[in-house]
Chains A and B, each alone.
Chain A
Amino acid sequence: MSVIAIVALMVIVMLAGGFYVGRARAIGAVNGNTVRLHSLPNYHGYYVAIWTGLPAFLLLAAYGIFGGQAVERLTFSELQREASALNARLEERLLSDAEYEEFRGAALQLRERVNAIGDDMQRLRSARGEERDPARLEQLQQEQREALNSATAAEEAAIGRRAELVAAVGSEAEAAGASMRQLAGFELVQAPREQRQLFLSDAMQIANGALSSRESAELNAAARIVARYQDRIRYFVAVLALVFAAGGLLRTRSQVIPDFRARNHVERLITGLLLLSSVLAILTTVGIVFSLLFESIRFFSTVPVSEFLFGLQWSPQIALRADQVGQSGAFGAVPLFAGTALITLIAMAVAVPIGLLSAIYLSEYAGPRFRATAKPVLEILAGIPTVVYGFFALLTVGPAIRGLFTWLGFDDVVTQSALSAGLVMGVMIIPFISSLSDDVINSVPQTLRDGSYAMGATRSETITRVVMPAALPGIVGAILLAVSRAVGETMIVVMAAGQGANLTANPLESVTTITVQIVMLLTGDQEFDSPKTLSAFALGLVLFVITLIMNVIALRVVQRYREKYD
């Protein structure tokens, strides 16, 4: 059993002991006449127990969450220190290496040229009248592409040469009898970012005696460092936790006297805990906003915002190299926005009439027995997981639509189309709209209906001319909420809408949406630095902002509406 587990057990024992000590002391202090105590003996017990266990457990929890990270950081910095001599030697070699310098210089020059051409193109694009010259623009584009290719080639050559030098320095050092730790540090520092992570996690695995993806002398050296830090931190935490527990126990034990307001203390702690829970909701939002913003800003440093928001072409897969992307123009998200809008539109075209009419029928026409059976059925529709809808769209609705339209004489209708995804999403949203509008319709005061009936209006006239206008704001709010739901829905579109980033209004074609692209970009292998991965966060940010705005408006509208009739 690990040290930490033993310590946790010990803390639990001390905590239980603390409870009895506090209780017994309180009873003892008044010689069993508990009426003289300010608080019940149990509260004294709780008080001591809390201060015995809480700090120690918080410490252990923090260790559980951040311990691994800390070990990794410490190992990394130690290895970096170890490798500093070798790194310096490499820098020297790089500076004196004519070949490397040449490649690098060329790459820089070419890059500048690419930028210059880019500026020219920008100027040409925004030019008007006489100045406009499409032919020249095309020529520039061609030139830029060529420059870009040679720039990339030069950069690759520089990187290749650098790798050679790294290998050379490494083997020289090994021959000269450098320590394994130095070599390990050198390998780690010179590795590309994502491989560093791999190196470290392999070292951790070896240190923990688990199977690692590979093994080498360097890794073993690193693993020894990891193990050292791990042990140090572990014992440090273990001792500290015990000190916290014992200290808490001793300190609070002495506080137990008849007049001690143990209950108030405990209750204040409870209130604090409650407040802390509710702050978690805020922390979640903060976490969402910051993680999206942070990664998006990194993304927008390579792809301009305007290009992302207004570009017409989306093909993130083309971007093989980070620095190529900015110019390749493959991150125009308009097709995704259009696809999202198209599918949302279709979904609303299904869900709004059916949901609204169902709500009207159930609340204004249906007898109690009919209502009692139909409402749960609608609720079932709401409880079905979205993958199930996706499967339904993929295997039942999609083929049916293709069959229907082929029969109607359309050619090449695809199974995965905006139409099938939209229709099924509409079905998913029906219960959402119907239950929200049901609430809204029911909160229209009966006196308005009575007024209308007393004028000799029929039911439908009362509904369409009095109830609906009265409920309109609430219904608009409900529809907005439903739209935001549709925009953020993922599984149905992932499974049923296809992946083609087509900019089209034809519902029979396959389109792609914001959510689908987020999934596509983030499933499978991902290196966390490529714009391809980062663009998913930019899309997430857009999604978050859109839905947030709609929710805020919708909630406001509904709130106002409720206040009006309450």
Chain B
Amino acid sequence: MPDNQSHILDQNAGFGETEPPIKVAARDVCVAYDGKQALNHVSIDIPDRSVTAFIGPSGCGKSTFLRCLNRMNDTIEGARVTGSLKIDGAEVNDKSIDPVVLRASVGMVFQKPNPFPKSIYDNVAYGPRIHGLALSRNDLDGIVESSLKKAGLWEEVADRLNDPGTSLSGGQQQRLVIARAIAINPEVILMDEPCSALDPIATAKIEELIDELRENYCIIIVTHSMQQAARVSQRTAFFHMGTLVEFGRTEDIFTNPRDPRTQDYITGRFG
């Protein structure tokens, strides 16, 4: 295994100086659920202000790794995380890091849109409110408006901010959730198959949005669609059975995969 890991790190080192700085650095991250190993010695460096796609067959540990980044694994009974994981050089798994603070700067979007049973406004205002970020109602209005604008939803909902979030369509709900995430200005946004429950048109809108957000955030997206990975991401990581098999520029991975397993997967021979 160690050989494999160093091989991937070498590959990362080849990105050159023109690349954006490294945002997330993982070394030998392992996760076990109730003693059952789900992730094996994953080491990866993910750059800032770009989109990184995780691909791989179901159950290979993509979501598990994503959950390490904002310590959502803490909420799962029996989950054990080891190894080193740094965001901006700060160790995520360190005891001194409070998951609440961490999660305020690492947003997450889930597979199924999960707006809270509140109004659209309250959904977006949720983060600023719990973290006490808005000092006045005006502040809050501003944050809500700018977040919705950034999520490309403002035009559609500006005149019905008090409607329940669940009254929106699936695609709108997912954008609402994204707006909710960026309302507290995270540095990293994790997206776990954000489009798998959406129709193609809604998917296109989300992809467009991801492309825009890339300017300002470090985005990591799990997807089952090769096309989507190719369309939105700059880098792609291929996971298989709990290990990171290959990681590199998206065009490299898709045109010239080094590992036969990657090759098999992207050509649809398994998965």
Contact = CB atoms under 8 A, between A and B. Distances in A.
A353 to B, nearest CB: 22
B130 A450 contact: no
A456 interface: yes
A454 B116 contact: no
Interface string B98-119: 0111111001101010111110
A445 interface: yes
B64 interface: no
Given A447-B110, A450-B72, A450-B75, A456 B117 contact: no
Given A453-B103, A470-B117, A465 B130 contact: yes
Interface string A464-504: 01100110000000000000000000000000000000000
Interface stretch (B43-51, B134-142, B176-184, B216-224): B176-184
A455 B181 contact: yes
Contacts of B99: 456
Given A456-B101, A461-B130, A451 B116 contact: yes
A456 B72 contact: no
Contacts of B72: 450, 453-454
A454 B66 CA distance: 11
Contact of A466 (B116, B127, B131, B184): B116
A448 B116 contact: yes
A454 B103 contact: yes
B70 A454 contact: yes
Interface string B163-197: 00000000000000100110010000000000000
A367 to B, nearest CB: 8
Contacts of A456: 99-104, 127, 130-131, 184
A34 interface: no
A452 interface: yes
B154 interface: no
A458 interface: yes
A455 B114 contact: no
B197 to A, nearest CB: 11
A451 B190 CA distance: 12
Contacts of A453: 72, 75, 103
A451 B173 CA distance: 13
A466 B115 CA distance: 10
B126 A465 contact: yes
A3 interface: no
Nearest to A367: B77
B110 A455 contact: no
Contacts, number: 67
Chain B interface bracket (under 10, 10 to 19, 20 to 34, 35 or more) = 20 to 34
A255 to B, nearest CB: 62
Given A451-B116, A451-B177, A452-B116, A457 B110 contact: no
A54 to B, nearest CB: 56
| Residue with the greatest number of chain A CB neighbours at <10 A, chosen from B104, B112, B130 | B130
Contact of B107 (A454, A466, A469): A454
A469 B75 contact: no
A129 B181 CA distance: 68
A416 B40 CA distance: 68
A253 to B, nearest CB: 66
Contacts of A466: 116-117
A458 B101 CA distance: 10
Nearest to B74: A453
Given A450-B75, A469-B117, A455 B130 contact: yes
B101 A451 contact: no
B130 A448 contact: no
Contacts of B115: 451
Contacts of B103: 453-456
Contacts of B107: 454-455
B184 A455 contact: yes
Nearest to A461: B130
A447 B180 contact: no
B83 to A, nearest CB: 21
Contacts of B180: 451, 455
A469 B184 contact: no
A185 B255 CA distance: 112
Contacts of A470: 116-117
Interface in A325-373: 368
B157 to A, nearest CB: 18
A452 B130 CA distance: 10
Nearest to A468: B117
A80 to B, nearest CB: 71
Nearest to A457: B130
Contacts of B101: 456
A450 B102 CA distance: 15
Contacts of B116: 448, 451-452, 465-466, 469-470
Interface in A371-410: none
Contacts of A469: 116-118
Contacts of A447: 110, 112, 114
Contacts of A452: 116, 126
Q: Which 5 A-B pairs have the closest CB atoms?
A: A456-B103, A454-B108, A456-B104, A447-B114, A451-B114
7 contacts: A447-B112, A454-B103, A455-B126, A455-B184, A457-B130, A465-B126, A470-B117
Given A455-B184, A470-B116, 17 more contacts: A447-B112, A448-B114, A448-B117, A451-B180, A452-B116, A454-B70, A454-B103, A454-B181, A455-B103, A455-B127, A455-B130, A455-B181, A456-B102, A456-B103, A456-B184, A457-B130, A470-B117
